[in-house]
Amino acid sequence: MAQAPITTIVPFSDLSKLPDCAKECGPLYDANGACVPPAAPPADPAAYTACFCSDSRLAAFSRASTGVCDQACTGLPGGLQSVAGWFQAICKNAKGENGGNGGNGGGNNNQPTTTGTPGSSNNSTGGGDWLSHHWQWVIMLVVLVVAIAVIWIGACIWRRRYLRRKDHQTSLGQKHSGSASNPSWGPAVKGPESATPMTPGRDVERAAYAEKLRKTKGGKKWTVSQRT
């Protein structure tokens, strides 16, 4: 069993204030020894109490009876509840005295005040930078930006290829359809010759007609010089 320091904040021997099982709560000894001489410089007793109440190892007692030394007082129902009630009472009084006497207890001004759980004091004081606590969000944001950029570039490339393929199909359709001045079966005729389409059948008909006239005229030679 740990021996109480000479200057004692916790009344371990006063059963009217604390049950005897409070001696089994190690964090009470640790916080008490850290706030009184020789660990702390000599100061007003109010400074010792304020240091004791601000110790992160006892912070859970300010809200409930669990979270500090749950293994103590197992044989005494309500024992830890009595310890937590005593802690809340002296710390409430210590805050009232410090609020009325702002200059008392030089050691109290240097003591950190914590209201979180015992494991949360290191996060509030040490903390680390913002990036170390939000790196998952940063990575997700970078992935989203890259994905959006890749999708946008891919859509632009696909649209360009689609328009190029569509223009190619349109040009092929025009070549297959053809026209009178631009036949699809041969080269286009340009200039004055394009006004009269190529009609090889008409020349054959003209020659047959001339031959018929020649026979009807008794063998007289007939020359067709103009269109009939």
Over residues 7-13, mean pLDDT:
86
Closest CA to 63 of 34, 94, 36, 88: 88
Look at residue 46 and tell me whether its pLDDT is greater than 50. yes
Mean pLDDT, range 198-223, rounded to an integer: 67
* Residue 139, pLDDT score: 92
- Higher per-residue pLDDT: 84 or 208: 84
> Would you place residue 12 in the very low, low, confident or very high pLDDT band (cuts 50, 70, 90)?
confident
Taking alpha carbons only, the member of 117, 47, 57, 125 closest to residue 87 is 57
Its pTM surpasses 0.85: no
Alpha-helical regions (H) of 36-118: 45-53, 79-100
Instruction: For residues 190-216, give the mean pLDDT.
Output: 66
What is the spatial distance between Cα 112 and Cα 57, in angstroms, rounded to a whole number?
12
Q: What is the mean pLDDT of residues 34-50?
A: 89
Query: What is the residue-wise DSSP string for 140-192?
Result: HHHHHHHHHHHHHHHHHHHHHHHHHHHHHHHHHHHHHH--SSS-TTSPPP-GG
Output the CA torsion sign for 67, 68, 69, 73: negative
Please report, rounded to a whole number, the percentage of residues in the chain having pLDDT higher than 70: 65
Is the pLDDT at 113 greater than 70, yes or no? no
Q: Is 207 exposed, middle or buried (0-12, 13-18, 19+ CB in 10 A)?
A: exposed
DSSP state of 5: P
Encode pLDDT of 60-99 as tens digits: 988 888 888 888 888 888 888 999 999 999 998 877 655 5
- What residues have CB less than 8 Å from 163, skipping those under 6 apart? none
pLDDT of residue 2: 55
- Predicted confidence at residue 136, as pLDDT, reads 86
Angle, helices 45-53/79-100, rounded to nearest 10 degrees: 130
pLDDT of residue 153: 95
Render pLDDT for 114-162 as a digit per residue (tens, 0 to 9).
444 444 444 444 445 777 778 888 899 999 999 999 999 999 999 999 9
Residue 179 pLDDT exceeds 70: no
Q: What is the mean pLDDT of the segment spanning 193-219?
A: 66
